[in-house]
Amino acid sequence: MIKLLRVDHRLLHGQVAFSWTSFLQADCILIASDNVVNDQLRLTTIKLAKPSGVKLVIKNIEDSIKALKEGKTDKYRLFIVVESVGDAAKIAKAVKTIKSINLGGTRPKENTISVSKVVHLTEEEINIVKELSSDGVEVEVRQVPNDTRVNAVDLIKNKIS
């Protein structure tokens, strides 16, 4: 069962590894990233951040979607973490059981709008968030589980209007 799909450019770190994993009672973390699978340093760093007693799987986006659709992850309380809004959208569009995406942190870069102190979106990502929302997928912003859930589309409207 998929517990949460989270976008966090840092992938697996303290907040994710401990706060979210225990809050979700997740027993498996899937890092879905085309970049990480070929980066030995990042692979090693992510493996070091894994909480004990939790399975860690690292796959590219295509293989992650395939595993999710084939039911290979159904036996786990699965926490999926991706680096970008685009990656989250690819997975959510392919795996229809995903009805909620958490935006936990996206890196500020050129041509981004800060919709919260830790979420910075390009125009393309804003359009993706709006599209996901209109398709019935909740996109919420929250760094840690105890934070109040804030609808990403509402934040975007407040920043753009």
What residues are annotated to the active site? 13
Give the integer Cα–Cα distance in Å for 105 and 147. 13
| Angle subtended by helix axes 123-134 and 152-160, to nearest 10 | 130
Burial 64-83 (b: 16+ CB within 10 A, else e): bbebbeeeebeebbbbbbbb
- The helix (run of H) or strand (run of E) holding residue 81 is strand 78-82
DSSP alpha helix (H) spans, the chain: 14, 21-24, 40-49, 61-70, 85-94, 123-134, 152-160
